[in-house]
Structure 1
Amino acid sequence: MDDSRGARQVRAAMHLRRVRVDGPDGAPVVLSYPGMLLSCYEDDRKVCEKWIPLGADPTEEDDELLIAALHAAMLWRTHQADCP
Structure 2
Amino acid sequence: MGKKNEAYFYVLLCADGTLYGGYTTDLEHRLLMHNQGKGAKYTRSRRPVQMIYHENFADKSSALKAEYQFKHQSRQKKLAYLRQHKVKI
Taking structure 2 as the reference length, the TM-score comes to: 0.29
Q: Which has the larger Rg?
A: 1
- Kindly indicate which of the two structures has a greater share of residues assigned to strand: 1
Give the helix-richer structure, 1 or 2: 2
